[in-house]
Amino acid sequence: MYIDKIWITGASGRLGSTLYRHLNPLDMEILATDKNIVDITNSKQVNKYVERNRPDIIINCSGLTKRNYCETHEDEAFLLNGLGARNIAVAARRVKAVLVHLSTEEVFDGTNLIPYREIDEPNPISVYGKSKNYGEKFVREFVPGHFIIRPSRLYSRENHFVEDIIEQAKKNKEVVVPKNQFFSPTSAIELTRFLLFLMNTSEYGTYHASCTGVCSRKEFAEEILKLTGIEAEIKEIEGDSQADFRPQYLALENYILNLTKEFEFLDWKKALSDYIDMEVKNAKK
């Protein structure tokens, strides 16, 4: 597929800005917008922008992601994560653009004891998860050429997930993490590598897109300290106000990719090592 123009929605957000930074050096035009330029909850604005610019690919990174906020602002969550996705899907179909829709592992309830596969039925328990699942349904309904992407706990320079652990360890000689939370931590570098592969195919559908393997939040912090050579105590706590509405088990298996064997994500430890070498250590220079 020849790609001349990509539109990234939500480009000022953490995920959107990460993808824009990694995709921008490519030999194609990148259109990056936020709600001040195109409000995706306004169908007229979305259609007007798409008609005027006619992107080949739309990457929808827009979304309300703060879990606690979503719980107390349900209408806002469903408007942006659900109806916003519908507006983009309808516009994409009109101009025959391929839609890459970034979703979440939180469409699952977190009660599994093994990683979730694409064939598992979503059962979100939070407003955030429910609203993202609602958006997925619109994408499937309105856009034949779509990719729905579910990463597991993405980390990047923009969201500071790794950097915050390093800062805690240096400042306090202690890192506090939630207990009994399991995931498949995924580097934004790896996600971008996968999206570049996928956008040049017609292998449409829903994909789990995570680094391979499963770890606890404690194991993730331990590996960061090991790779950076920082000595600190890791303390697990029962509660975490930032994760009150986050399911406990959110590890994913890239089941479709494992079946087709067309793309392979790095193991989470290798991806983390590469990320620290490229993003953390280089940032100090």
Q: H or E stretch including 172?
A: helix 161-172
Classify burial at 145, counting beta carbons within 10 Å of its beta carbon; exposed 0-12, middle 13-18, buried 19 or more: middle
Full-model pTM: 0.93
- Asked if residue 186 lies in contact with residue 271, where contact means CB atoms within 8 angstroms, the answer is yes
The single residue listed with the structure tokens 């992601």 is: 65
Active site residues per annotation = 128
Pairing of strands 57-60, 29-33: unpaired
What pLDDT does 49 receive? 97
The single residue listed with the structure tokens 């694409």 is: 118
Per-residue pLDDT of the chain (285 residues; tens, 9 = 90+): 668 899 999 998 888 888 888 887 777 899 999 999 999 999 999 999 999 999 999 999 999 988 899 999 999 999 999 999 999 999 999 999 999 999 999 999 999 999 999 999 999 999 999 999 999 999 999 999 999 999 999 999 889 999 999 999 999 999 999 998 999 999 999 999 999 999 999 999 999 999 999 999 999 999 999 999 999 999 998 765 445 567 889 999 999 999 999 999 999 999 999 999 998 877 655
Three-class SS state of 105: helix
For 16, the token pair is 């959107």
What pLDDT does 12 receive? 87
